[in-house]
Structure 1
Amino acid sequence: MSNNETCVIDSVDLCIASRGGGQIRGTLRTPSDTEPSALVVVHPATAVPERLYSAFATYMAEQGFAVISYDYRGTGKSGSPKVNRSLRMRDWMDQDVPDVAEWAAAEFPKLPRFAIGHSVGGHALSLGSGVDGLLGMVSIASHAGVTATIPSLLERCKVWLILRVAGPLTGRVLGYVPGSKLGLGEDIPAGAMLEWSRWSRKPGYFFDDPSMNAAHRASQVTGPVLSIGFSDDPWATPQQIEAITDHLTAAAVERRTYSPADFGVAAIGHMGFFRRGLREGLWPEVVAWLREQERQR
């Protein structure tokens, strides 16, 4: 199917039970006039609602993929952050990501499967969560989120205030972090913020947290990995992206860094990959990489 061709797609709401309790809500999109050629699961970033991924998921369905997008528990449609106040980032990575991946594998047992992880979604994949049986995975702007490495002093101070002061304080007082008011995106559980805050102070991020066993887990991940970053991303610098991918010692990692000028847009940054302005430029690059993995299987 060509990049310019569109088709009618079917969209179904999902509700997946989590091994950690509660439910994960998302959306399954499939082409309505043909059988999907492969399955793609989009694992989201922290405090990013599923709706950010809807245009990209629709595009991928138009290209012939079955596509699943969703909200982590305690965010968006998957439950109140206050009710889920104790949920940590590792719970998203080690429970929600494999929960959705396993549901997808059971629902589409005959399809080749891929995963796309945005930021913390890419962290989960890099630690081996939700990767069983994948033909390949794509990591978007997924980096070691160490505050001290942010190049811009202004941005570094802003993130420091959120992760060290405002986020932990509101989390402890309210039971959740009002991300929408702090410029983070969606509201998130207090547990996630407190763990994020701790990791952001460590030079190796969660690789310096012994309880994560992160280096060993990453070394066990195999298969092809496409890791994408952007020259204008204020957080996910090439150095910090490679602080993750350098641990994928058993995987075949391809690193790409794009600039806004490559696609004639003003900015991409940390969130821009999934915006409609890159539909005709960058998104086909990912489709081509996925198709190449299908051909080589």
Structure 2
Amino acid sequence: MSNNANGTVNARDLSIASRGGGSIRGTLRTPSADEPLALVVIHPATAVPERLYAGFSEYLAGQGYAVVTYDFRGTGRSGAPRAVRGLRMRDWMDQDVPDVAEWSAARFPGLPRFAVGHSIGGHALALGSGVEGLRGMVSIASHAGVTATVPALPERVKVWLTLSVAGPLTGRILGYMPGKKLGLGEDIPAGAMREWGRWSRLPGYFFDDPTMDASERAAAVTGPLLAIGFSDDPWATPQQIDAITDHLTAADVERRTYSPAEFGVAAIGHMGFFRRGLREGLWPQVAQWLEERRHG
């Protein structure tokens, strides 16, 4: 592992042309003192801004990795959602994810490559998007987002109202879902909101969408995958994480479920892995998993 762990990190803005039109804005972080040892691309969650991943990407860059983070089109720095109102979730998975993966691979052609997918970012990896040539993949809180499986009734009602009522309604009126006002992160295009809501009502999520060929795609994915979940995540329960990984029949899947008590924090939930409070406890475990496969 690099001896740059306590050093500074270089960062520069990226703009990557998308095969679906427009551009994807992101950030490349690299060790300041050494040549990178490997490449990690972090694929984001729905309605989650790139800045959430800054701390973890800086940490990995300090360990010797080149790290790419970005916003999906129509979110954050990658454009206004109303301007791409018809953009769907599958477009993020099947266009943005491989676009960023291919740009990153071309930028660092000789390095071992890895991917980290948060929620929908992990879905894309499970469906084989952006996985070519990877040494390993890590999915964080990536689950089949079926509303009926949310354990707590108040949270289940809140999710249903957002995904099946408020989100689609505001999408039709405004051209986007005002995620900030609805308490679901960033604003997102109406097309993504409609697809998200429809999948959330299917018992098998997008595996029950015949236009996705999801089961066949997942069965073709190979290589090591570390799938991480958290005991206090209100949405990504172990069963719903398994509902994704069970389809990865050709991959070498390792499942881990952590609790906040293991790291002396009050909560982790769906977003907490990427917060800096876990820098000394949980992040090194993922870095070690990557390091072991870098040498493999």
Q: TM-score band (shorter)?
A: over 0.9
Specify the code of the residue in structure 2 equivalent to 1:199: W
Q: Deviations over 1:209-236 (max 9, x none)?
A: 0000000000000000000000000000
Asked whether the 8 Å contact 2:199–2:206 carries over to 1, the reply is yes
Aligned to 1:190: 190
Off by >3 Å, runs of 4+ in structure 1: 1-5
Is 1:46 matched with 2:54? no
Aligned to 1:218: 218
Aligned to 2:163: 163
Aligned to 1:9: 9
Asked whether the 8 Å contact 2:4–2:64 carries over to 1, the reply is no
Aligned-partner Cα distance in 1 for 2:215–2:261 = 35
Q: How does 1:49-68 map to 2 (within 5 A)?
A: 49-68=49-68
**DSSP 3-state at the match of 1:266:** coil
Q: Deviations over 1:146-190 (max 9, x none)?
A: 000000000000000000100000001000010000000000000
**DSSP 3-state at the match of 2:211:** helix
**DSSP 3-state at the match of 2:137:** strand
Aligned to 1:30: 30
Aligned-partner Cα distance in 1 for 2:114–2:6 = 21
Aligned-partner Cα distance in 1 for 2:165–2:3 = 45
Aligned-partner Cα distance in 2 for 1:128–1:190 = 25
Aligned-partner Cα distance in 2 for 1:252–1:7 = 34
TM-score (norm 1): 0.98
Q: Deviations over 1:86-131 (max 9, x none)?
A: 1000000000000000000111000000000000000000000000
Q: Deviations over 1:53-78 (max 9, x none)?
A: 00111111001000000000000000
**DSSP 3-state at the match of 1:229:** strand
Specify the code of the residue in structure 1 equivalent to 2:72: Y
Specify the code of the residue in structure 2 equivalent to 1:252: D
Structure 1 runs not aligned, ≥5 long: none
Aligned-partner Cα distance in 2 for 1:108–1:225 = 22
Aligned-partner Cα distance in 2 for 1:234–1:73 = 27
**DSSP 3-state at the match of 1:244:** helix
Q: Deviations over 1:221-257 (max 9, x none)?
A: 0000000000000000000000000000000000000
Aligned to 1:108: 108
Aligned to 1:230: 230
Asked whether the 8 Å contact 1:3–1:280 carries over to 2, the reply is no
Q: How does 1:118-137 map to 2 (within 5 A)?
A: 118-137=118-137
Kindly state the Cα deviation for residue 5 of structure 1 after the two structures are TM-superposed. 3.7
Kindly state the Cα deviation for residue 2 of structure 1 after the two structures are TM-superposed. 7.5
Aligned to 2:88: 88
Kindly state the Cα deviation for residue 30 of structure 1 after the two structures are TM-superposed. 0.1
Aligned-partner Cα distance in 1 for 2:51–2:37 = 24
Aligned to 1:138: 138
Aligned-partner Cα distance in 2 for 1:81–1:154 = 29
RMSD of the TM alignment (CA)? Answer: 1.0
Asked whether the 8 Å contact 1:3–1:284 carries over to 2, the reply is no
Aligned-partner Cα distance in 1 for 2:228–2:215 = 21
Q: How does 1:63-82 map to 2 (within 5 A)?
A: 63-82=63-82
> Identical aligned pairs, as a percentage?
77
Aligned-partner Cα distance in 2 for 1:240–1:2 = 36
Aligned to 2:280: 280
Aligned-partner Cα distance in 1 for 2:78–2:270 = 23
Aligned-partner Cα distance in 1 for 2:143–2:165 = 22
Aligned-partner Cα distance in 1 for 2:114–2:12 = 19
Kindly state the Cα deviation for residue 6 of structure 1 after the two structures are TM-superposed. 1.2
Aligned-partner Cα distance in 1 for 2:148–2:21 = 35
